[in-house]
C-alpha cells in the first residue's frame, strides 16, 4: 500500500493557530539625544503621503506601519513630528550622529 504524504489532522484541533492580538499603539516617552521624545507606532493608512526617515534617509510610505516621534516638551505643531521606519528607530543608538532628527 502506498504511503500518504500529506499530514493528517487530528480531530478537535484547529487547522491554524488563532490570530495574535494587535500590539498596543499608545504613546510612550523615550529619552534620546538629550531630549524627551513621545513615540507612537502607527499602522499604515491610505493617505498616499511619503515621509523621509531620519535614520536612513529613505522614503517611508504612510501605507506601511512605522514609528512617529516628536519632542515631548516642545510640540508646537505637526512640523516637529518625524516618521521613522520602525527598525531604524529601534537602531537609533547605533546610528552615527548628525541626522536631521535633532
Render each residue's pLDDT in the chain as its tens digit; 102 residues.
Answer: 677 777 666 665 554 455 444 455 578 888 887 888 888 998 888 888 899 999 999 999 999 999 999 888 766 666 788 999 999 999 888 866 555 555
Please indicate, yes or no, if residue 102 is contained in any of the structural domains.
no
Whole-model pTM: value is: 0.65
Please indicate, yes or no, if residue 36 is contained in any of the structural domains.
yes
**Cell numbers standing for residue 89:** 528607530
Please indicate, yes or no, if residue 53 is contained in any of the structural domains.
yes
Please indicate, yes or no, if residue 1 is contained in any of the structural domains.
no
Q: Structural domain tally of the chain?
A: 1
Q: What pairs with residue 36 in β-bridges? A: 31
Residue 87 is part of which domain span? 27-94
- The Cα-based distances of 38 to 80, 95, 99 in angstroms read 11, 19, 18
Please indicate, yes or no, if residue 19 is contained in any of the structural domains.
no
Amino acid at each position: 500500500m502506498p504511503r500518504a504524504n500529506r499530514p493528517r489532522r487530528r480531530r478537535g484541533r484547529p487547522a491554524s493557530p488563532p490570530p495574535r492580538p494587535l500590539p498596543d499603539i499608545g504613546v510612550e516617552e523615550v529619552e534620546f539625544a538629550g531630549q524627551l521624545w513621545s513615540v507612537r507606532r502607527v499602522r499604515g493608512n491610505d493617505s498616499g503621503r511619503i515621509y523621509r526617515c531620519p535614520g536612513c534617509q529613505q522614503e517611508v510610505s504612510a501605507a506601511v506601519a512605522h514609528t512617529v516621534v516628536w519632542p515631548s516638551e516642545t510640540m508646537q505643531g505637526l512640523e516637529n513630528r518625524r516618521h521613522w521606519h520602525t527598525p531604524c528607530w529601534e537602531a537609533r543608538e547605533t546610528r552615527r550622529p548628525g541626522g536631521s532628527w535633532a
